[in-house]
Amino acid sequence: MNTAPCIVFLLLLLPALESMAEPYTAPFWLPGGNLQTIYPAKFVKLPKVEYRRERWELDDGDFMDVDWVDNDDHSQPLVVMFHGLEGNSHSNYALDLMAALKARGWRGVVVHFRGCSGENNRLPRAYFAGDSADIDMALSRIRKSTPNTAVYAVGVSLGGNALLKWLGESGEHAGALIDAAAAISAPMDLAATGHALDHGFNLMVYTPRFIETMRPKALEKARQFPGLLDEEKIKSAHTIEEMDTYVTAKLHGFIDAEDYWAKNASKPWLMSITLPTLIVNARNDPFVPAESLPAETEVSASVTLEYPEAGGHVGFVTGPFPGHLDWLPQHLIEYFSSLGLRTPHSESAK
C-alpha cells in the first residue's frame, strides 16, 4: 500500500488542525475582561472592507439591508454573519471576519437586522434577540441565491443567541439552509445578561452606550406610530431592562423584559441542534456571567463548547502591543474548514 499520498495530506492538514487546537490566550499587557472588551472595540486598527450593499424588500412591506463581500470564485464557501446589539457591518468583529474571508478567497455577507443599517425600518417592530423568523427568512433567501456551495452562519452576541435559538427550533430543517454554524459571546441566558448589564461597572460604562443608540430609534418609532410606545418612559429609561420593557417587549408582543428574556433565550434549545455548531464564550465576559454558560450536558452532540478563561466580550486580542484581532476570524475559518466541504447542496438535499 502506498502511504505517501496519505502522509502528504496529513502534512498539509496539520497547520489547520494546530490552529483549531490552539486555545485563546490573552496577551499579558491586556488583563481583565473589561479591558479585553473595550480595547478591541475602540483602539485596535481595523481592516478596510469593500462591501456591496443589497436591499431586500420583504413580503411584510419592510426591508433589510445586507452587505456582501464578493469573490470571483462562487464555488468557495459563503459565511453569513448576524451582528450583535446595535451592531452593523462596520463593527470591529464584522470587519475583521469579512477581511479574513476575502483574503482566504471565500465570500461573506453581513445581514443587518431591521433598523441597524443606518435607516430605521418601516414597520411597528424592530429586531430582538430571538427573532427566528428573520433568521430563517435571511438564510432561506441566501441559500436560494447560493444553491451549490457551502454556507456557514456566524452569530455574534445578540445575533449569536438568535442564531442558536433558530438552530434548535429548526432541527433538521436548518441543514437545508446552512452547513454549520458558530456563535460568539452569545448571551444564551438572556436574563442573566440583562441583569449583569444593569449593575455596577456595566451599568456605568456599557449600558449607556447601548441606550445612546437605541433611544433615538425607539423615539422615532414612537412618533412614526402614535400611541404604540410611551415617549416619556423611553426618554427616562437608563437600564436594559427598562428599554426591553418599554420598547422591545412592547413592539414584539411580550409582557415585559423578563417575559421577553425567558421566551427568547437560546439555552433551552441547545439540546435540539443537529448541525455542527461551535460556541465560543470567554469566562471573563462582563456581559455573560460564567455561571450562566451551558454545560456539556445541556447541549447536543453536534455542539462544540469552547470557554477560554479570557477574551472579554467579542474581544480575543492577540499579539504584542498594540495587538490584533486575527485569532477569532482564523479560528472560525479553520473550524468550518475542518468539517470538510459537502457535496453541492442542491444535490445533497435530494
Give the cell for residue 156. 455574534
Q: Is 321 exposed, middle or buried (0-12, 13-18, 19+ CB in 10 A)?
A: exposed
Give the ranges where 187-275 is alpha helix by DSSP (H). Answer: 190-197, 200-224, 231-236, 240-243, 249-252, 257-264
Task: Specify whether 157 is catalytic.
Answer: yes
* CB half-sphere exposure, 16, CA atoms < 13 A: 14
* From 252, 313, 331, 345, active-site residue: 313
Residue 214: which of 106, 120, 86, 91 has the closest Cα? 86
Residue 186: half-sphere exposure toward Cβ, Cα within 13 Å: 31
End-to-end CA distance of the chain: 36
**Could you identify the residue written with the cell 452576541?**
157
Of 285, 292, 337, 345, which one is the catalytic site residue?
A: 285
Based on the residue annotation, tell me whether 313 is a catalytic residue of this protein: yes
- Residue 239 in contact with residue 266, Cβ under 8 Å? no
Catalytic residue from among 157, 266, 292, 337? 157
The torsion angles phi and psi of 174, rounded to 5 degrees, stand at: -60, -35
Based on the residue annotation, tell me whether 285 is a catalytic residue of this protein. Answer: yes
Q: Catalytic positions, please?
A: 157, 285, 313
